[in-house]
Structure 1
Amino acid sequence: MNLPALPDRRAAARPTAPALADDWADLDNTRFLAAVQRAAATLHGHGVGAGDVVAVRLPNTADLVVTLFAAWRLGAAVTPVNPALVDDEIAFQVADAGAKAMVTDALFDGPGCAVIPLGELLAGPGIDIEPIDTDPGALALLIYTSGTTGRPKGVMLDHANLLAMCGMVIDALDLNESDHSLLVLPLFHVNGIVVSVLSPLLAGGRTTVAGRFDAGSFFDRIEKARPTYFSAVPTIYAMLADRPADVDPDTSSVRFAICGAAPASIGVLAKFEARYGIPVVEGYGLSEGTCASTLNPIAGLRKPGTVGLPLPGQRIRILGPDGDDVPAGEVGEVLISGPNVMRGYLNRPDVTAATVVDGWLHTGDIGRLDEDGYLVLVDRAKDMIIRGGENIYPKEIETVVYQLPEIAEAAVVGRPDPVYGEQPILFAALTTGAALDADGIREHARRGLAKYKLPVAISILDQLPKNAVGKIDKPALRRLDAQTL
């Protein structure tokens, strides 16, 4: 299977079958191929070729998917850019990825590469550039994850990773040409790309891009598009489960929904399923594992409170503190192996070597396997905050705050939130004699961080609590915050 040639194969097999839609476009296979060809011609005109990287900063639209396939057609890789990032964050990603060009629908100065407006991309001559016969080991995606060292890391996923992962998803979900995914998750995450776009298209089905999620209009979209499945984060299920009592949509087309990206409340998922008649299967995975590693089966025993069984072709180990596997039921670090494990972190060989050891991906997550082999997550990677499905590493926020000369100490922890799951909050201590208030810190943070990363509360203390070895005591800060709520 060759991803760059997928639009061609679909157009040849079923020219008028639906492929890709959003709020503005509805492309059958023939029009999808034509759009990809036009976009590929434009990228080629800007010098993009095999081995290059194309950054794409677009909202969730069919155009983003077209750009993805256009770059692959030329043998280039793609790094999706979160549209919520500020200019400095975008510039870092573009530079770190070594992007040759960036496709965007917004004005942007100084990215360090050619900027291709969306209108220009789609107005290409449509010359017939044959899809490259891509080496399975060629880079396909660079997915940037929040960095524990204060800067995001580029996760390198090759074509073999994507094809292996999509094959696992197709098998686990039993996808075929009758399936239709409704995409509600962001396309700068690998989940949205793999589960809701590539897998259904490879299976012969179709995708509708829903754009920005809105609880008030979501079921209208379900009734109009008639999808067979969608994937979402716990926050979305909580919002939908709490819709007014008079909301009674027709959900008969939906055969299942997927929940992942953050721990979910068993009660919320049960309430959603009972109210709307849609089975919800929980899964677990990381960008470093090309999306998913475990999933509760659709046709089989679903265990609430677990994230399911390993996907076909993957193995899960639970490692104790001594580095040995622990017996079933005991807690340890979750390790993953399989053809879906990333090539590594771009330009970070030391971090890669520490993360992938002898083919095993060390997730940093803590869990256990029950008597049936279902994975139960006990804790998450140290300190990480998951806000509405978005991973936020405190160190990234702290690094920005430490740019202020008045800051002596800074620490970010998560505060439980009934809607988003968690929100970041900041504790800071000032240098002697400094005059700086919370508003000043907040204003500085706005210039260096995306909106979803901004602390919802800032507290200035005389000094931050320390543990026995002199490190900032984050558990103490969490307790302090809980006392003030």
Structure 2
Amino acid sequence: MMIPNWLAQRAKLTPDASALVTERVHWSYRELYEQSLEIAQQLHHLGVQSESRVALLSHSNEQTVLFVHACWLLSVEVVCLNNRLTEQELHWQVRDSEAKLVLVDDQIQIHPNVDDIESLSYSAVRKSERKEFVMLEQWTEDQTLSIMYTSGTTGVPKGVRQTAGNHTSSALASALNLGLTDNDSWLCMMPLFHISGLSIVIRAVIYGMEMRLYEKFDAKEAAAHIVAGNVTAISVVALTLDQIVRVMEADHNKAHPQFRTMLVGGGPVPLDYLERATACGLPILQTYGMTETCSQTTTLGKADATRKVGSAGKPLFFNQVAIKDTVQPGEVGEVLIKGPHVTPGYIGSQSTRSPLTEDGWLATGDAGYLDEEGYLFIVDRRADLIISGGENVYPAEIENVLLAHPAIREAGVCGKEDPQWGQVPVAFLVGSADTEELVEFCSQRLARYKLPKEFRFVERLPRNASNKLMRFELKKWL
């Protein structure tokens, strides 16, 4: 299947449709295309060739959307760099990715200066002359468009290839699941260097819908848009869902009837959050995906939300999910994924490692099970599993119990070495509560071997750019 160059095709089809709204700009698809084309010509004048590789170090603003589209009009591979990394980490990724050029947002202070790789600011590019180029009107399915380094919850960052086919099939599967309407507008408060943010940029242009972009997550702004009916969808994680709900509860507000979708990913959602969100009229769709699967793999529909509490739902139309080495429903094992949205592989130092098994399944490193109706339940990251006295203890289960306590805002659990049990759970908490009270609270809801042996109160928990908890950092805190 050939895939049209997304923005060029969208500008032909609906040039006057609203494309991008920020606090500073409101562009139609024609304007988005014309400005992106100008940047593409400037990059071409600076020597950027099609199918070369360019790294982008940026904030989540309209300039970045333009530069991403400019690179794709040129059919250039974009390496999305996380702006929260240290200079050393960025240096490693730029070198590992073999990017020919690093484009840096003018507002960013750190520069990953790599000896033989040129670095240019956005403004330097915008001052350059323009040079015409022949645009590839069609892409092949296996053409790499973006590269993202995994968030490092497993150790060494891996540069994940994401192809035109991966992104397109992910967007189509999501549309078949969520539906489309003429007035759709997706509120994006996720970082654009992360798959949850970049996938919104891609969905918008494939669907011809509006994207309302913020540089940072803002619970008050999000709640205001949801209540006013300015947006129809937003992507969040459990932490940001809770923050939006708190704002709505404080103001006794309900979601506008136009608001259709609150997509929650990045880990299990505590039952308490779901119940409170439902009371605010928020249509919660829990989802499971990863960088290697270009965002969503499974989604739990609104109709099943109360019947299948805690589930990540069923696979989207083109996707398959299986549990390794299991026979019966309910057996926990490693989650395997197959489908056109799955990466063909890695680049750089990990390029020799295929993420796929011989018959094309992606081993996720996540532990989960399928129930008798085929709904997926994610139990935890296998790397985070605590084995205490021979029993498997899943941190997410303990965290969910702790988060149900009214005085606890955030919870993170990891395993600590123990001479008697091998490992025991330790909880890091944001909030204020009496330890004895917490022990009593957990005792009513968890088996004895799952009870945290220590409660440590901290100012904040370690999270990556998409607000996912980094439990491997908690282990360092021990």
TM-score by length of 2: 0.77
Shift of 1:466: 6.4
Q: Which amino acid aligns with 2:9?
A: R
Shift of 1:342: 0.8
1:111 alignment partner, one of 108, 114, 123: 114
* Partners of 1:237 and 1:269 within 8 A in 2: no
Shift of 1:84: 1.1
Secondary structure at 1:96 match in 2: helix
Identical amino acids, percent of aligned pairs: 27
Q: Which residue does the alignment assign to 1:397?
A: none
Q: Which runs of 5+ in 1 are unaligned?
A: 386-412, 428-463
Q: Which amino acid aligns with 2:76?
A: A
Q: Which residue does the alignment assign to 1:305?
A: 310
More displaced 10-residue stretch of structure 1: 144-153 or 290-299: 144-153
Q: Which residue does the alignment assign to 2:42?
A: 42
* Partners of 2:226 and 2:232 within 8 A in 1: no
Task: Write the deviation string for residues 207-239 of structure 1: whole angstroms up to 9, x where unpaired.
Answer: 111221122332234467811111110001111
Shift of 1:200: 2.8
* Partners of 1:80 and 1:143 within 8 A in 2: yes
Q: Which residue does the alignment assign to 1:227?
A: 231
* Partners of 2:4 and 2:139 within 8 A in 1: yes
Shift of 1:294: 0.5
Task: Write the deviation string for residues 327-376 of structure 1: whole angstroms up to 9, x where unpaired.
Answer: 22222111111111111121356873365442001111111111211101
Q: Which residue does the alignment assign to 1:406?
A: none
Cα distance between partner residues in 2 of 1:366 and 1:19: 39
Q: Which amino acid aligns with 1:136?
A: E
Cα distance between partner residues in 2 of 1:139 and 1:115: 22
Going from structure 1 to structure 2, the CA distance change for 1:354 and 1:159 (only over 3 Å counts) comes to closer
Going from structure 1 to structure 2, the CA distance change for 1:372 and 1:124 (only over 3 Å counts) comes to farther
Q: Which residue does the alignment assign to 2:241?
A: 237
* Partners of 1:35 and 1:66 within 8 A in 2: yes
Secondary structure at 2:268 match in 1: coil
Cα distance between partner residues in 2 of 1:171 and 1:186: 25
Going from structure 1 to structure 2, the CA distance change for 1:424 and 1:305 (only over 3 Å counts) comes to closer
Matches within 5 A, 1:15-414: 15-105=15-105, 106-107=108-109, 108=111, 110-112=113-115, 113-123=117-127, 125=129, 129-132=133-136, 133-147=138-152, 150-194=155-199, 196-222=200-226, 226-243=230-247, 245-248=250-253, 251-275=256-280, 277-298=281-302, 303-320=308-325, 325-348=326-349, 352-353=353-354, 355-383=356-384
Q: Which amino acid aligns with 1:203?
A: Y
Going from structure 1 to structure 2, the CA distance change for 1:149 and 1:222 (only over 3 Å counts) comes to closer
Cα distance between partner residues in 1 of 2:38 and 2:4: 14
* Partners of 1:416 and 1:422 within 8 A in 2: no
* Partners of 1:178 and 1:204 within 8 A in 2: no
Secondary structure at 1:142 match in 2: strand
Shift of 1:6: 2.3
Shift of 1:279: 0.6
* Partners of 2:300 and 2:312 within 8 A in 1: yes
Cα distance between partner residues in 1 of 2:452 and 2:305: 41
Going from structure 1 to structure 2, the CA distance change for 1:97 and 1:109 (only over 3 Å counts) comes to closer
Shift of 1:278: 1.9
Cα distance between partner residues in 1 of 2:237 and 2:424: 26
* Partners of 1:141 and 1:158 within 8 A in 2: yes
Cα distance between partner residues in 1 of 2:345 and 2:420: 34
Secondary structure at 1:111 match in 2: coil
Task: Write the deviation string for residues 147-188 of structure 1: whole angstroms up to 9, x where unpaired.
Answer: 467431101111111111111112111125432111011111
Cα distance between partner residues in 1 of 2:371 and 2:98: 44
Q: How many residues align?
A: 411
* Partners of 2:236 and 2:265 within 8 A in 1: yes
Cα distance between partner residues in 2 of 1:159 and 1:260: 23
TM-score by length of 1: 0.76
Task: Write the deviation string for residues 183-204 of structure 1: whole angstroms up to 9, x where unpaired.
Answer: 011111112211x221132112
Cα distance between partner residues in 1 of 2:218 and 2:34: 31
Going from structure 1 to structure 2, the CA distance change for 1:208 and 1:298 (only over 3 Å counts) comes to same
* Partners of 1:255 and 1:279 within 8 A in 2: yes
Q: Which runs of 5+ in 2 are unaligned?
A: 387-398, 428-450, 458-478
Q: Which residue does the alignment assign to 1:422?
A: 412
* Partners of 1:142 and 1:156 within 8 A in 2: yes
Task: Write the deviation string for residues 300-324 of structure 1: whole angstroms up to 9, x where unpaired.
Answer: 676221000011111111123xxxx
* Partners of 1:14 and 1:29 within 8 A in 2: yes
* Partners of 1:180 and 1:206 within 8 A in 2: yes
Q: Which amino acid aligns with 1:332?
A: G
Shift of 1:111: 3.3
* Partners of 2:189 and 2:213 within 8 A in 1: yes
Going from structure 1 to structure 2, the CA distance change for 1:301 and 1:250 (only over 3 Å counts) comes to closer
Note the aligned Cα RMSD (angstroms): 3.1
